[in-house]
Chain A
Amino acid sequence: MTLRARSVAIGLHAFVSLWTLFVLVPVFVMVISAFKSQAELFTRPLALPRQFSFAAFERAWGIGISGFLVNSLLVTALSVLFIVIASSLAAYVLARSDKPVMRWVYVAIVAGFAVPLQSVMVPLYQLVSSAGLLNSRLAIALPYAAYGIPFTTMLFYTFFLEFPRELEEAARLDGCGRIEVFFRIVLPLSGPVIASAAIFQAVFNWNEFILALLMLTKTDVRTLPVGIYGLTGQYSADWPALMAGLAIATVPLIVIFLLAQRHFVRSLAGLGK
């Protein structure tokens, strides 16, 4: 390598390394602050804690994080289940039908993709509250599902277009109905796309804030993001406990992302397809 090429290479490496460091610092601050005492957070903000103390985690757990964690798990699991079932069923019919009306159905579902949650806050809140479904962890999974369906339907649709029809036709000849073909043949062979869709939507719903803020007004039904937000009013000075709560909400996602990165990125790439 010439000297010039080498210095360019060093410069490029430096830029990427600096941004990587910039990304890591806040995550590092969150984790180390969760193990510190309030005094140490103040006196040595960037240093490693002198001794790793779980006191902040205990405080966070005690003031409600444990309940939020259960609520988040429940809401996320339920909504992802709804999204995968509803989207795959719809996408399968859309990908296999050549009726003109199906084009409109596809447009109607995908149109949901363009509607921002913020722009329907008022009617959605009134709909849910007049139906008496505020503060229900089961009910909030329904709008969560609705907002995941347009993107997931597009994702499944592209996948089903390329799915080999010969398998389905063989099953049909054996007397299987459309629903049977779908559940016995198509779905079991759709593992990768199901995983991509589920992981992507799980991250999204685990982190969702606006709907939870509107619909879950009682502390005991709140999910992690809105639950932690609600606690900061009362415990605003307790930074270590806040960081411990955020670490509990965040670290599982980072671990899942590291393990299933491939699936996650593939789903993202669906945005570009």
Chain B
Amino acid sequence: MAPSLTSTLGDTGKRPVLNAGNISASAMMAPALILVGVFILIPAAVAVIGSFFDFGMTSATWTFVGGANYRRAVTDPLFWLAISNNIFIVIGSVVSQVGGGAILAAILDRGIRRGSVVYRTIIFMPVVISSIAVAFVWMLILDPNVGPLNAIVKTLGLSPPRLGWLGDPAISLWMLLLIAAWQNVGFQMMLILAGLQAIPKEHYEAASLDGARGLKAFWYITLPGIRNVLVLATLITVIGGFKVFDLVFVTTGGGPANATQVLGTYTYTQAFSFGNMGYANAMAVVLLVTAALLGWLQVRLSRRA
């Protein structure tokens, strides 16, 4: 701001409009910069700094502990369990959400003409529903006492899991994957569909003249055409898999017996249930670095795509 002020003073006064413009340029930037700085960038820096200290939720004193919080994470089996659950969700989500979304998009792009808009709209709908509502509706569906899924399974003559769909440690994580796919496949479908529709029709016509149809056309024209979009969809899904919180927090709270504990819920528990703010920060930084690297890739890619 200062340089433009001095240049106003040094100016002959012929072009006051431009200088007034410079001052207001800074003023116009200010709200966005201040909000992002105060509520995102500074807290992120404080999280990094705080990860080297030990402090409680309300305590004013921070004790420097060096890398102790990170060493604690490395030797904490629950931290590794949470990470491996995140990775399970990441891989499962890429397969189910990007894979499912790609198949649906491909069918809706070229296979189905009539009713395509209706299908698209319905499949996308869960994206606008809050994950809290999604979580509770699925809890009702999967409920061992009143849930319709148990009723259906019983009418088919099968026996539902004795501990409940979300209460059985062997299947609860799979159920979360299913719910996440239910909510997010429509998003990936839309993203990939936009990519498919950007491929010029002439490419297919030219290829068809050369005898490339069906799978061959898919391999040589469709796939290269949506490669960037597919990478972007995968990145968004991977980031989402590491950030997952609401769904797990509400449905299982990380249970049963930590079977669905993820980085987000474990960080929350350490911070706000046990008051280990320093340790929570160290785990938060692990998430921050992971997400920041992937997010940086995403921004780069999406500008190129």
A33 CB–B CB distance under 8 Å: yes
* Contact between chains at B277 and A122 (CB < 8 Å): yes
Q: Residues of B contacting A273 with CB < 8 Å?
A: 302-303, 305
A113 CB–B CB distance under 8 Å: yes
A175 CB–B CB distance under 8 Å: yes
* Contact between chains at B43 and A127 (CB < 8 Å): yes
Q: Given known contacts A93-B29, A97-B25, A123-B43, is B295 in contact with A114 (CB within 8 Å)?
A: yes
Q: Residues of A contacting B277 with CB < 8 Å?
A: 122, 126
Q: Residues of B contacting A242 with CB < 8 Å?
A: 136, 140
Q: Residues of A contacting B41 with CB < 8 Å?
A: 108, 111-112, 115
Per-residue CB contact flags for chain A residues 118-133 toward chain B (1 = under 8 Å, else 0) read: 1111111111000000
Q: How far is the CA of A27 from the CA of B33 in the complex (A)?
A: 40
A70 CB–B CB distance under 8 Å: no
Within residues 226 to 248 of chain A, which ones have a CB less than 8 A from any CB in chain B?
Answer: 226, 228-229, 232, 239, 242-243, 246
Across the interface, name the chain B residue whose C-beta is closest to A226: B132
* Contact between chains at B291 and A29 (CB < 8 Å): no
Q: How far is the CA of A229 from the CA of B250 in the complex (A)?
A: 8
* Contact between chains at A15 and B103 (CB < 8 Å): yes
Across the interface, name the chain A residue whose C-beta is closest to B265: A118
B299 CB–A CB distance under 8 Å: yes
* Contact between chains at A118 and B267 (CB < 8 Å): yes
A3 CB–B CB distance under 8 Å: no
A221 CB–B CB distance under 8 Å: no
B133 CB–A CB distance under 8 Å: yes
Q: Residues of A contacting B284 with CB < 8 Å?
A: 118-122
B285 CB–A CB distance under 8 Å: yes
Q: Residues of B contacting A159 with CB < 8 Å?
A: none
* Contact between chains at A206 and B130 (CB < 8 Å): yes
Across the interface, name the chain A residue whose C-beta is closest to B122: A20
* Contact between chains at A108 and B305 (CB < 8 Å): no
A54 CB–B CB distance under 8 Å: no
Q: How far is the CA of A142 from the CA of B34 in the complex (A)?
A: 10
Q: Residues of A contacting B292 with CB < 8 Å?
A: 111, 114-115
* Contact between chains at A250 and B129 (CB < 8 Å): yes
* Contact between chains at B137 and A243 (CB < 8 Å): yes
B268 CB–A CB distance under 8 Å: yes
* Contact between chains at A209 and B246 (CB < 8 Å): yes
Q: Given known contacts A9-B111, A122-B47, A261-B121, is B32 in contact with A114 (CB within 8 Å)?
A: no
Please report whether the interface of chain A is mostly helix, strand, loop or mixed according to DSSP. Answer: helix
Within residues 34 to 49 of chain B, which ones have a CB less than 8 A from any CB in chain A?
Answer: 35-44, 46-47
Please report whether the interface of chain B is mostly helix, strand, loop or mixed according to DSSP. Answer: helix
Across the interface, name the chain A residue whose C-beta is closest to B130: A207
Across the interface, name the chain B residue whose C-beta is closest to A92: B28
The stretch from B71-79, B169-177, B186-194, B202-210 touching chain A is: B186-194
- Shortest distance between the CB of B228 and any CB in chain A (Å): 8
* Contact between chains at B291 and A115 (CB < 8 Å): yes
* Contact between chains at B299 and A23 (CB < 8 Å): no
Q: Residues of A contacting B245 with CB < 8 Å?
A: 118, 209-210
How many residues from A make CB contacts under 8 Å with B? 98
- Shortest distance between the CB of B92 and any CB in chain A (Å): 17
Q: How far is the CA of A182 from the CA of B35 in the complex (A)?
A: 21
The stretch from B5-13, B146-154, B160-168 touching chain A is: B146-154
Q: Residues of A contacting B46 with CB < 8 Å?
A: 120, 123, 127
The stretch from A57-65, A80-88, A189-197 touching chain B is: A80-88
B232 CB–A CB distance under 8 Å: yes
Q: Residues of B contacting A127 with CB < 8 Å?
A: 38-39, 42-43, 46
Q: Given known contacts A142-B39, A178-B28, is B122 in contact with A257 (CB within 8 Å)?
A: no
Q: Given known contacts A30-B137, A90-B28, A113-B299, is B122 in contact with A119 (CB within 8 Å)?
A: no
- Shortest distance between the CB of B152 and any CB in chain A (Å): 8
Q: Residues of B contacting A126 with CB < 8 Å?
A: 57, 277
Across the interface, name the chain B residue whose C-beta is closest to A224: B130
Q: Given known contacts A109-B36, A142-B35, is B129 in contact with A20 (CB within 8 Å)?
A: no
A13 CB–B CB distance under 8 Å: yes
B212 CB–A CB distance under 8 Å: no
Q: Given known contacts A33-B140, A93-B25, A146-B38, is B291 in contact with A109 (CB within 8 Å)?
A: no
- Shortest distance between the CB of B218 and any CB in chain A (Å): 14
Q: Given known contacts A105-B33, A268-B187, is B131 in contact with A207 (CB within 8 Å)?
A: yes
- Shortest distance between the CB of A83 and any CB in chain B (Å): 9
Within residues 81 to 132 of chain B, which ones have a CB less than 8 A from any CB in chain A?
Answer: 100, 103-104, 107-108, 111-112, 119, 121-126, 128-132
* Contact between chains at B131 and A209 (CB < 8 Å): yes
B24 CB–A CB distance under 8 Å: yes
Q: How far is the CA of A225 from the CA of B136 in the complex (A)?
A: 11
Across the interface, name the chain A residue whose C-beta is closest to B28: A89
* Contact between chains at A29 and B25 (CB < 8 Å): no
* Contact between chains at A16 and B121 (CB < 8 Å): no
- Shortest distance between the CB of B83 and any CB in chain A (Å): 14
A and B contact pairs by CB, cutoff 8 A, 11 listed: A22-B182, A30-B137, A30-B140, A45-B148, A90-B29, A149-B32, A177-B17, A214-B272, A224-B130, A250-B130, A264-B128
- Given A111-B292, A114-B294, A232-B136, 5 more A-B residue pairs with CB atoms under 8 Å apart are A19-B185, A86-B32, A121-B280, A178-B20, A228-B133
